[in-house]
Chains A and B, each alone.
Chain A
Amino acid sequence: MGVRRSQKAATRQRVIEASRTLFESLGYAETTVRAIAREAGVSVGSVFTTFASKSEILSQVMVERLEELYAELDRVAPLLRGSTADRLRSIFAIHYAFETRRTRLFLAHIAAAYDWTLSPDATPFGRNEHLKQILVDCLTEGVARGDVDPNADLALIVDTLRATYAWTYRLAAREGADSAALSATMDRHIGLIAQGFMPRGGEPRA
């Protein structure tokens, strides 16, 4: 890697780290690019040669955060035991535990999905394919184990779970709910959905 390119990569990393800190402590809307540059120890100009906009910085911060989360999930997923509903509960509990470490940052990420001026380079909340795949896999295994009805519409169940997961997060915005409270609510929602996808008759096999 040339000196120029490695310098650019270093600037990029410093801007991302500075932004992650400021978005969480000050809030996304309150954080200016000038403040990010100061915190990162670079010029405003070099922030803008690396990123097109503040929303793109947020998007990149989240890409890194989510890589960490999904690395954790990929590690844990094969170890999950119990019924499909319980496995789903674990998957979402891991999400909430991870996200509530930086609640304001995550709320900014969700709000940005509706941002008026969203840059085309940004990946807003809800377009993450990785979570979708993890849930599809979990339900497909459930069909094989026999506690998910083979006739159930898995894609639809996954969409419903994702909607509930996202909107349950509003308890963090409105009531300052912590990870345990979010997971407890989600656990009950999953119970309701599971009633609908369990095979008729017969207890689910664990």
Chain B
Amino acid sequence: MGPSQRYRPIPAALLVLFLAVALVLPLGTFGQESKAGPAPQNKPFAPGELLVKFKTATRAQAYEFDRERFKIKALKRLGERGVHRIKLAQEMSVEEAQNFFRQDPEVEYAEPNYYRYLARTPDDPSYPSQWGLPIISAPAAWDHSINCTATVVAVIDSGADYEHPDLAANIWTHPAEIAGDGIDNDGNGYIDDTLGWDFIFDNGMPIDADGHGTHVAGIIAAVGNNSRGVTGVCWNAGIMVLRAFDAVGIGTVADVIEAMQYARLNGAKIINASYADPSFSQAEQDAVNALNSAGILLIAAAGNESVDNDQRPSYPASYDLPNIIAVTATNQSDHLAGFSNYGLQTVHVAAPGIDVLSTYPSEVDVLSENFETGTAGWTLPAPINRTRPGYNSAWSLTDSPGGNYANNLDVSAVSPAFDLSARRSTVLDFFLEGRMLAGDRLLVETAENAGGPWTSQKVWVQNSVAGGWQSFDSGVSGDFTGAWQAAEVKLDHLDGKSLGYLRFRFQTDASGTADGYNLDDVVISALGTGQDTYDFISGTSMATPHVSGLAALIWSTNPGLTAPQVKDRILDCVDRLPDLSGKVFTAGRVNANSSLQNIPAPPSRFAVTGDSDSQIILGWDDNYSDAVGFRIERREAAGGAFAEIALLAPGTSVYHDTGVQTSKTYSYRARAFTSDNASAYTSEISATAASSSSGGGGGGGGCFLTSLLAD
């Protein structure tokens, strides 16, 4: 490619002007650092880039011709309007280059490449609190791509608040299922599974009764750039909500396996598994293996027990299968979090997992009474009344204000009505002090109507004297004198009910009396749905979805990649951290930008296109416009190692290998490279000088570490 081909003569007048500009601005100034001071944390424009509109095409060609002199690394025309994207040599700042081009009268405008960049910085108001996103270089990755829509991520968790305003738009919906018609339209075995599935209650409403799953889903794909709340690693993606964990974060292998099967058969490419336990399950391993056969990645939490998973495995993260990425947690200082499990062989990467902000169901108090200012709404038949003192306060409620309770008592303090519509995970908390003899008891009962029927609930009471907690299936009895004890009752049977009542029922027998109980600080709380609420939580559970989101971003950008190739991109492109050395397989924390942006696509259709006695001709398609060039490697098919035989310029798509011996068979492979990265190799092809054969195809991609880690 000579100048005669690319550089047409320019009019003499213009050439004079061109040279004048070059003289006015001595090139030496480009070598100096910008005087503008340190760049702001959120750079308003892509570093090292400039958008310049030339008034004439020849003007652009003039700069192109003399790139080296003007410290231009590359110049690329965008569309037909004369706008060029200029990549600057490293020693030239954007400001300096901008000033330079603005003084050229043939330049209509020159500006930093910030329109494009701004579009990739989300406007979500809580984004500045999401420290984990800049630390994994998500903004730079978003500059490359924000589109995750091509990849469905299944979240096997406690469900998700799929009505959350910062999640709803990114919830996967089942295209073949009609909501609410009671028919399994697509015959997949699940009726009305339009939003995923609840494997605990076996229905199509996998709402989150814990909060964990909503948080995880938001880390992967809270709606980005919607002027609301937070953003996910993916701004837009299909979150398949699969509920296999209950209101307190407990699930079973049976439900997890069924959820994996559902994900596999309904289009998920990635499964987020923010759970872990030491019990090995052959059935679970088989299920993950089936995912592997289907080309699905399982991204799994390493666990929060501060143990070495190499010594004490945590499943499913620790199954030795190629489609698993085991993830541990790092903090804001890029140190391993204190709770993090690790494992040089079995934990692959780290990701942010401390104080992570994400979507969370609102926790609301639907009933709260401390008896300090009265008992409005409560029905308190005698002898029940307020008494002194309370729990850290003046007043409480008691069965016997005057002293001991009476024999043969059956009397109830009844709460006002409360509303649990659209609430989940309802819990009653209160404090208790005093004593009731055996045969006498305090029942906690609930009803859905003021007139009953009333049902007794199991009560957990802390015993600070004996230590631990006691549960009472049919009424609290015994001695809790001298210290207020916390008590808790699960009321999730009332979840979603528009009307609920609570009563404390004191029942005594005919023999013996005591002080009775004092009750205080009665609170019924529940999780809401569809509320615009967020929370910070920590765990390898939170690190894992950062990686799931990244995998979705990589896969959506490069749909042709296989699961192992996506895994390689994540593992190979980490930022290595001293604190992770010897503890994590890659010794690194994921870097979204490295995984996504700097990796050239490999050449495709790599094939033998011709041969003779003295040469073999190779051809391919260039898939990466920013490549610096191609490397061709060859070995004798009989064996031996590949050796580089050619380093070719960008744009090349054919190579004549003249260094061959007649009748000898050779194998070839190729890859594209940039200044700091290389693509995966193409698959090998082989040919014999004078009689050809061919094969070939594309490959994946990876940072330079690929070959190191693969060995």
Are these two chains actual partners, yes or no? no
Q: Which chain A residues have a beta carbon within 8 Å of chain B's beta carbons?
A: none
Seen from chain B, the residues whose Cβ lies within 8 Å of a Cβ on chain A are: none
